[in-house]
Amino acid sequence: MKSITIKGSERESVGKKSTKALRNAGKVPCVVYGGDKPLHFSADELAFRNLVYTPNAHTVAIELDGGQKVKAVMQDIQFHPVTDKILHIDFYQLFDDKAVTMNIPVKLQGNSPGVRNGGRLLFRKRKLAIKALPDKLPDFFDIDISKLKIGQNISVASLLNDDFTILHPDTTVVVQVKTARAAVATDDEEEGEEGAEAATEAPAEEAAQE
């Protein structure tokens, strides 16, 4: 997984007054948990731009004055309810031999034949929570939907990997194509006579209901 470097300064005081002064100076108060004790530091708000305002997942290399370096992942972030300025960020320290939980983005590749035939693509899980050792964290889940037909879906079960544990039930649907009123069946969508019969019976049933 790609890493972003954040350069900051360790905080000597963590009271409300000093925190307010930091924010007024354009800095963000932060805490790193997971070590022997919490590590409080601050950094310029602009330093977090490529970490916060992106759909991608990253690890973070925190470099503090004095040469101290910590590898971490972002766990929580607070924004101002009116201005959307970053108020506070929590990080969790990474260790090579200790698994960490992280949300990994899902990316779709290809064009679904089900959508071309009028179906609706429902992207139900844009991120998946996983648990893995730091060097096993994937940048993203890459899902090919080029064979996804109307009525089909791709679930967590198809994404299982020995490198990490996905913290969702195997039956969790990530993406699916649902039928729509304007959807049409084509030969490449049908599988055998059952598919053909279903395609011809459906309009008759709808007409009867109307």
Instruction: Going residue by residue through the chain, which has 210 residues, state the pLDDT in tens, using 9 for 90 and above.
Output: 999 999 999 998 888 888 999 999 999 999 999 988 999 999 999 999 999 999 999 999 999 998 899 999 999 999 999 999 999 999 999 999 999 999 999 999 999 999 999 999 999 999 999 999 999 999 999 999 999 999 999 999 999 999 999 999 999 999 999 987 655 555 454 444 344 344 444 443 443 344
In a domain, 58, yes or no: yes
In a domain, 121, yes or no: yes
What's the domain count of the chain?
Answer: 2
Q: What is the pLDDT of residue 186?
A: 56
Are both 41 and 21 inside the same structural domain? yes
Q: Which residues of 31-58 are buried (b: 16+ CB within 10 A; e: fewer)?
A: bbebeeeebbbbbebebbeebeeeeebb
Which residues form the domain of 36? 3-94
What CATH number does residue 161 fall under? 2.170.120.20
> CA torsion 107→110→116→120, rounded to 10°?
-10
Are both 56 and 18 inside the same structural domain? yes
Residues of the chain with pLDDT > 90, as a percent, come to 78
Long-range CB contacts (within 8 A, 24+) of 126-129: 126/55, 127/103, 128/103, 128/104, 128/156, 128/159, 128/166, 128/167, 128/168, 128/174, 129/101, 129/102, 129/103, 129/104, 129/166, 129/167, 129/168
